[in-house]
């Protein structure tokens, strides 16, 4: 895959001294969708706005299709954006909103009408051209914003948390629609979100950002299964952490003593030596709840349990460590009540070690 959008050591310092983006490098391949994911204040939106030209980088360059665009004004960059609040022009009709960019480029008459109609059809809004944006539902407004950005056949499509104003159901539906449309049109995209499920569904690759830097860049699966540090682990999905001590090394796994036994453990980048303290992560779905006293099971107690429909969520206590477990539910199988003694089993490959206290816990990121 050839790199289409290239950010080189991009940096943004505000006059008050805040470093919003702290020198990031990122390559987005042609037709690829990369999501910038992170908590608020991590620099993802500032990065996107620098690409769009609404913020000037303090240092670094931005290239698109082999040409530097950071030197161009925002109206010449060929990168259209879907805004967070859609930013539909309230005094213009849907048709005029979608056709705005073409009108600016002096396209008129039949050519304009054809293209606008094609764009409206693409997003499933045929026949609504005469409406005002205010007369449309949130999902429809979202589609207008999409059509308005796509009609210019841009080299790059930018998304600034486009789904954050929609309710949960519609959000899930729009995620799939955007993904389908983006792949059909085959357009290079940069997508900012703080919603990890959204990033997982939509993105070819995710860049998890933390305090102005890219903490990890990888496919959704890599990010989830092999998080590079504790923050990424905690931000993408839920992560249980427990303490462990390194007892040895076998090939590319560590042997870590945790939860009362020595266990083969994958590990995040870092320096490890025998006898070191490490933090060990276990995903909730890897914690299996079995009857108390089952062979080889870790002894635990249920602190709280709740029924979620297809699965159950347990808060458990095992050897002084709090663990969360999601367990598939079958019809008729009772939920273990609070206070019940249970056994816990975790698959050998499900442990992942991090240098102890290597990264501050989630929520420590600047606002």
Partner 1 sequence: MIAIRRDPAAAALALMVAAAIAFGLGYPLANVLGQAVLDDLGRFDVAPIVRIFSFPVPRAVVVNSLLMGVLAATMGTLLGFAFALTTARAVRGPHRSALHYIALLPLIAPPFALALSTIFLFGRQGLLTRGLFHWETDPYGLTGLLFVQTITFFPVAYLIFDALVRQLDPALEEAALNLGASRGRILRTVVIPLLRPGFAAAFLIIFVESLADLANPLLIGGDFNVLASSAYLAIIGEFDTRKAVAYSVVLMLPSLLAYFAQRIWVGESSVVTVTGKPSGGRAQRLGASFRVGLLVVTGTVAVLVLLLYLTVLAGAFTKLLGIDNTVTLDNFKFVLGGIGTRAMTDTTFLSAVAAPIAALLGLATAYLVVRTKVPGRTVFDYVVMLGAAAPGIVLGLGILLAFNHRPFLLSGTAVIFIIAFVIRTAPVSLRTTVAALLQIDPSLEQASANLGAGAATTFRRITLPLVRRAVLSGAIFSFTRNMTTLSTIALLVTPNWRIMTSQILNEIDAQRLGSGAAYSTILIVIVLAAVITLNRVFGKAPIEVGA
Give me the residues that bind partner 1 (CB under 8 A), please: 52-56, 73-76, 79-81, 83-91, 100-101, 104-105, 134, 148-149, 152, 165
Tokens encoding 169: 């159901």
Of 101 and 227, CB closest to partner 1: 101
Tokens encoding 329: 């539910």
Tokens encoding 187: 């357009």
Cβ 155 to partner 1, closest distance in Å?
A: 13
Backbone angles phi, psi at 263, to 5 degrees: -135, 140
Of 79 and 215, CB closest to partner 1: 79
Of 141 and 242, CB closest to partner 1: 141
Of 151 and 181, CB closest to partner 1: 151
Q: Which residues pair with 7 in a beta bridge?
A: 26, 62
Cβ 22 to partner 1, closest distance in Å?
A: 21
Rounded Cα distance, 280 and 241, in Å: 5
Give Cβ neighbours of residue 42 (< 8 Å, ≥ 6 apart): 209, 210, 211, 212, 365
Cβ 171 to partner 1, closest distance in Å?
A: 16
Per the CB < 8 A criterion, the answer to whether 19 and 65 are in contact is no
Cβ 198 to partner 1, closest distance in Å?
A: 19
Cβ 91 to partner 1, closest distance in Å?
A: 5
Distances, alpha carbon 362 to alpha carbons 121, 234, 276, 283, in Å: 43, 6, 23, 16
Of 107 and 313, CB closest to partner 1: 107
Of 88 and 259, CB closest to partner 1: 88
Rounded Cα distance, 37 and 335, in Å: 35
Rounded Cα distance, 147 and 119, in Å: 5
End-to-end Cα separation, the chain, in angstroms? 36
* Alpha helices per DSSP H over 80-227: 94-104, 109-122, 138-150, 168-185, 196-202, 220-225
Cβ 145 to partner 1, closest distance in Å?
A: 8
Cβ 299 to partner 1, closest distance in Å?
A: 50
In terms of Cα–Cα distance, which of 7, 9, 18 is closest to 366?
18
Cβ 81 to partner 1, closest distance in Å?
A: 5
Of 80 and 305, CB closest to partner 1: 80
Of 178 and 289, CB closest to partner 1: 178
- How many other β-carbons are positioned within 10 Å of the β-carbon of residue 13? 15
């Amino acid at each position: 895959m050839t790199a289409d959008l290239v950010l080189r050591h991009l940096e943004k310092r505000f006059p008050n001294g805040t470093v919003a983006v702290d020198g990031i490098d990122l390559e987005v391949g042609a037709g690829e969708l990369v999501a910038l994911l992170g908590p608020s204040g991590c620099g993802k939106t500032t990065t996107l706005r620098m690409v769009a030209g609404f913020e000037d980088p303090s240092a670094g360059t931005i290239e698109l299709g082999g040409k530097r665009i950071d030197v161009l004004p925002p109206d010449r960059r060929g990168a259209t954006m879907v805004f967070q609040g859609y930013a539909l022009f309230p005094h213009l009709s849907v048709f005029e909103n979608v056709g705005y960019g073409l009108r600016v480029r002096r396209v008129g008459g039949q050519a304009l009408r054809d293209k606008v109609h094609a764009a409206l059809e693409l997003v499933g809004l045929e026949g609504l051209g005469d409406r005002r944006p205010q007369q449309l539902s949130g999902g429809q407004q979202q589609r207008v914003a999409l059509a308005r950005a796509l009609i210019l056949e841009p080299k790059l499509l930018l998304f600034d948390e486009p789904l954050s104003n929609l309710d949960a159901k519609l959000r899930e539906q729009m995620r799939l629609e955007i993904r389908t449309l983006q792949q059909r049109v085959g357009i290079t995209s940069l997508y900012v979100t703080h919603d990890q499920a959204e990033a997982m569904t939509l993105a070819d690759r995710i860049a998890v950002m933390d305090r102005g830097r890219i903490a990890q860049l990888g496919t959704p699966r890599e990010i989830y299964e092999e998080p590079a540090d504790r923050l990424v682990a905690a931000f993408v999905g839920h992560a249980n952490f427990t303490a462990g001590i390194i007892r040895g090394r076998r090939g590319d796994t560590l042997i870590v003593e945790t939860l009362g036994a020595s266990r083969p453990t994958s590990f995040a980048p870092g320096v490890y030596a025998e006898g070191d303290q490490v933090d060990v992560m276990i995903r909730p779905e890897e914690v299996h709840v079995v009857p108390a006293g089952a062979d080889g099971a870790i002894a635990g107690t249920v602190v709280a349990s709740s029924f979620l429909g297809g699965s159950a969520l347990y808060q458990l206590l095992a050897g002084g460590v709090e663990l969360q477990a999601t367990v598939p539910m079958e019809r008729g199988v009772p939920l273990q009540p609070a206070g019940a003694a249970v056994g816990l089993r975790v698959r050998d490959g499900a442990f992942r070690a991090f240098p102890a206290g290597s990264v501050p816990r989630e929520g420590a990121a600047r606002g």
